[in-house]
Amino acid sequence: MSCDVAVVGAGAAGLRAATVAARAGLSTVLVDSYERAGGQFYRQPASTPYPPSPTQVEGRELIEAAYAAGVEVRTGTSVWDAAARPDGVTLWLTAGDRLSTLECRTLVVATGAHERVAPFPGWTLPGVHTAGAVQALHKGHGVPVGERVLFAGSGPLLLVAAAGLVETGTRVVEVLEATRPVRAGARHPWATAAGLWRQGERLREGLGGAVRLRRAGTPLRTGWGSVRALGGDRVEGAVVSRVDRDWRPVAGTERTVSCDAIATHYSLVPATELLRLLGARMAHRPELGGWVPTVAASMATSLPGVFAAGDCTGIGGAGLSLVEGELAGLGAVAYVTGREPGRAPLATLRRERRFQRLYGTLFTPQPGLAELATPETVVCRCERVTRATVDAAVAAGARTVQSVKAVTRCGMGPCQGRICLPAITRLADAGPPPEARAPLEPVPFEAVASCG
Amino acid sequence: MSATVRIEVDGREMPARGGASVAAALLATGLPAGLFCGIGVCHGCTATVDGVPGVRTCVTTVAPGMRVRTGGDSS
């Protein structure tokens, strides 16, 4: 099977890129590993006990626009291998146990992001989840993760997810945000003012969340963090403390909080596995979330005919993802047809880029985060590798993430390092970007063998 | 909004809300699901579903008669 444009990831950026390409008359295939299009921000639950939110409605409209433009949408389909050739890209796809290949002349990678988590003592206990998981469970399924939930970490999703939970009657004991946004913003007044310019909706959402928490009697503390989870078989509490500017616990401020679930979240990490597998040039940009592809204004990567858009190019949120998706779609059309690219909404792009810079200023993880793990803390959940093992490897000369991985097996389990490697990046030097190898997703061996 | 379906978990039949993810169905009845990230990234919640090992239960929707085997699945 072949097409003009393949788009990987049916979130904000991918939906918009695919729609732009298909409207220009190009044969366009949009691939997504989930059962339904929408990605994380515009997630479309199979069914939900609650009426659809404005965001879900907006997402449905984006999906309907893609179908109306003639995009072939393939959900439940993951890319497990890929190769860039001079005349295009080959994608190897898996849908359950069915394998197929897709040849495309140009590729748009819009794989989004996932939550950053930091290993801390007790984080592998049942009852510790990411804030995103807690939000997805209650929004999509009406299932609360506990009766007294502690939210601790950094980033707007923490506040939004906590506010959503109290609205449905679940008790949130405290929300602890490591950053002090007002203080950090005051250090960069111009960037802050510019970043918030025409962001009324985001400000309203943030303030609205804070008001809902206040009404529910939930303290929202900035400059605080969780230090460790307590409990035997599952979470029974947490030790929390004030944290300084570098997010290091302030001695003497520790106290114990009683809770039966912990939602953790330290902003987001761009999902760049496919770009790294293809060999796109990468740069380490902590303020954008870590390793990101270097992209031109057209969202073209260093590889001919390969574009990238949305959070996988740097955390910026759905608004920026939509504009970047449009740019990448226009770029892909220009690449295939040889025509001049169409006009992009540059004013919106500039506004969203300013917000992205502010987000980076406020929510980039600080060094103290890497120090929460004690020697016996499991760092790699898949392979059960402890901090002591990683430290020993670094002390023995494994300086880069790649060499730590090779020596300790950290990042070699089924999650392919998506959870632990960002944490290892803070324990070792970043070095070159960690290698991504096929299969990107676990593939049944018989299936690979059968395709010869 | 959606009818209840019946699924089989480790040999025991149980109800699940139609449209729920397998992990949500397990958690709703108090069963540990290993759920951590909730978006199919961490593979902490994998189980054998209808004979297929390593299925991420947080991003798989329940279906009537679905057979889920938890534990012993290290994929």
pLDDT value for B74: 42
Distance CA B14, CA B66 (A): 10
pLDDT value for A336: 97
Do residues A61 and B17 touch, judged by C-beta distance below 8 A? no
**Across residues A271-295, what is the average pLDDT?**
95
pLDDT value for A184: 82
Per-residue pLDDT band for A30 (boundaries 50, 70, 90) equals very high
Amino acid letter at A438? A
Per-residue pLDDT band for B72 (boundaries 50, 70, 90) equals low
Residue A326 in this model has a pLDDT that exceeds 60: yes
pLDDT value for A201: 85
Give residue-wise pLDDT tens across range A207-254: 899 999 999 999 999 999 999 999 999 999 999 999 999 999 999 999
**Across residues B43-62, what is the average pLDDT?**
92
> Quick check: A114 contacting B, CB < 8 Å?
yes
Considering chain A, what percentage of its residues have pLDDT values greater than 90?
A: 73
pLDDT value for A448: 65
Report which DSSP code applies to A303: S
**Across residues A408-422, what is the average pLDDT?**
89
Residues 6+ apart with CB under 8 A from A350: none
Distance CA A86, CA A28 (A): 19
pLDDT value for A188: 84
State whether the Cα torsion A14-A197-A215-A149 is positive or negative: positive
**Which of B24, B34, B60 lies at the smallest CB-CB distance from A137?**
B24
Residues of chain B neighbouring A381 (CB-CB closer than 8 A): 36, 42, 44
State whether the Cα torsion A275-A276-A279-A281 is positive or negative: positive
What 3-state class would DSSP assign to A149?
A: strand
∠ CA(A121), CA(A126), CA(A131), 5° rounding?
80
Whether residue B59 and residue A34 make contact (CB cut-off 8 A), yes or no, is yes
Secondary structure of A152-183 in HEC code, one letter for each residue: EEECHHHHHHHHHHHHCCCEEEEEEECCCHHH
∠ CA(A180), CA(A319), CA(A211), 5° rounding?
40
pLDDT value for A368: 93
ipTM of the complex: 0.91
Residue A46 in this model has a pLDDT that exceeds 80: no
DSSP codes, B3-69: -EEEEEETTEEEEEETT-BHHHHHHHTT-----SSSSSSS-TTEEEETTEEEEEGGG-B--TT-EEE
Per-residue pLDDT band for A450 (boundaries 50, 70, 90) equals low
Considering chain A, what percentage of its residues have pLDDT values greater than 70?
A: 97
Q: How far is CA A364 from CA A154, A197, A205, A432, in A?
A: 9, 21, 21, 20
Give residue-wise pLDDT tens across range A62-96: 999 999 999 999 999 999 999 999 899 999 999 97
Give the tokens for residue A340: 């001049």
Distance CA A284, CA A274 (A): 16
pLDDT value for B75: 40
pLDDT value for B73: 44
Q: Look up the pTM and report it.
A: 0.94
**Which of B38, B52, B61 lies at the smallest CB-CB distance from A133?**
B38
Per-residue pLDDT band for A181 (boundaries 50, 70, 90) equals confident
What 3-state class would DSSP assign to A130?
A: strand
Whether residue A141 and residue B58 make contact (CB cut-off 8 A), yes or no, is no
Q: Which helix (H) or strand (E) holds A349?
A: helix A346-363
Indicate which of A137, A260, A262, A380 best probes the interface with B, i.e. most B CBs within 10 Å of its own CB.
A137
Of A427, A431, A434, nearest to A387 by C-alpha is A427
pLDDT value for A114: 95
Distance CA A134, CA A171 (A): 13
pLDDT value for A168: 84
Residue A402 in this model has a pLDDT that exceeds 60: yes
* Residue B31 or residue A335, greater confidence: A335
**Across residues A283-292, what is the average pLDDT?**
94
Distance CA A239, CA A373 (A): 13
Whether residue B28 and residue A143 make contact (CB cut-off 8 A), yes or no, is yes
Give the tokens for residue B3: 């009818």
Distance CA A359, CA B70 (A): 40
Q: A88: phi > 0 → left, psi -120 to 50 → alpha, else beta; which? A: left
Give the tokens for residue A209: 């969340």
Amino acid letter at B2? S
Phi/psi at A213 (5° precision): -65, -45
Which of A:398-437 have CB within 8 Å of B? 413-415, 418-419
* Residue A177 or residue A436, greater confidence: A177
Report which DSSP code applies to A32: -
Q: Indicate the pairing of strand A128-130 with strand A261-266.
A: parallel
| Radius of gyration for the alpha carbons in chain A, expressed in angstroms and rounded | 22
Residue B2 in this model has a pLDDT that exceeds 80: no
* Residue A352 or residue A452, greater confidence: A352
Residue of A nearest to B20 (CA): A141
**Which of B18, B34, B39 lies at the smallest CB-CB distance from A114?**
B39
Strand order in A261-266's β-sheet?
A128-130, A261-266, A148-154, A171-177, A220-222
> Quick check: A47 contacting B, CB < 8 Å?
yes
Distance CA A64, CA A18 (A): 12
Residues of chain A neighbouring B60 (CB-CB closer than 8 A): 35
